[in-house]
Chain A
């Protein structure tokens, strides 16, 4: 079964500092990986996804992630944190299921705090 592990349940950075949220995956087949963000009392918003092709993936709000097969990692980064980035971030891996659906397996999440 596929799984993802997010290292660090809570990350705190200063505004303007680099954001690094860690995600490692376990998969016996080429993984399809996603990052979602969840603001308080809201649903999940897709930040970016890796399927095939370029290993550096750019997403919304200035975030990007790099797929590293040798390290089984898909870490999320942003060069300069903004107060509005404070939220819960979930890494997820997808596998196909019957019909045309997919099944997402989420990591436990990382809460990003941004301080002045």
Chain B
């Protein structure tokens, strides 16, 4: 089973709202990722968690706050977002190991910031 689930599928929020995106995998993967994808562009890496610890933050603004409560869950907390943050947010996971392993993606959350 190579399934990564994400909720919600769609999210509309105002610039003063606080919301969270959730990601879950049950493949025993120990690395999890958040990507942001704008229309007609490739995904851009935001955060990498390895063994529930943040290992990469690609200079993402602090209005995005990741959290990894356990090895199966990954959250992205959103606060005071800007309209330009509207995008498809993708979660991915991969097995422990080297860069040979593939990342498996969830269906994404379509975020609209008004």
Return the CB mask of B73-114 against A: 1 if under 8 Å, else 0. 000000000000000001010111111111111111010000
Let me know if B31 and A101 touch, CB within 8 A.
yes
Query: Does B45 touch A at the CB level, under 8 Å?
Result: yes
Binding site for A on B (CB under 8 A): 2, 4, 6, 30-31, 33, 40-43, 45, 48-51, 53, 55-56, 90, 92, 94-108, 110
Evaluate whether A104 and B51 lie within 8 angstroms (CB atoms) in the complex, with A41-B110, A44-B43, A99-B31 already known. Answer: no
Among B4, B94, B102, the one with the most A-chain Cβ atoms within 10 Å of its Cβ is: B102
Binding site for B on A (CB under 8 A): 32, 34, 36, 41-46, 49, 51-52, 90, 94-104, 106-109
* Chain B min CB distance to A94 (Å): 4
Contact of A101 among B40, B41, B56, B104 (CB under 8 A): B56
- Enumerate 16 A-B pairs (CB-CB under 8 Å) in ascending A order: A32-B100, A42-B108, A49-B100, A94-B100, A96-B98, A97-B50, A98-B56, A100-B31, A100-B50, A101-B31, A102-B31, A102-B94, A102-B101, A102-B103, A107-B42, A109-B42
Evaluate whether A98 and B105 lie within 8 angstroms (CB atoms) in the complex, with A51-B100, A103-B56, A109-B42 already known. Answer: no
A112 and B34 alpha carbons, distance in the complex (Å):
26
Query: Which residue of chain A has the shortest Cβ distance to B51 in the bound complex?
Result: A99
A37 and B103 alpha carbons, distance in the complex (Å):
13
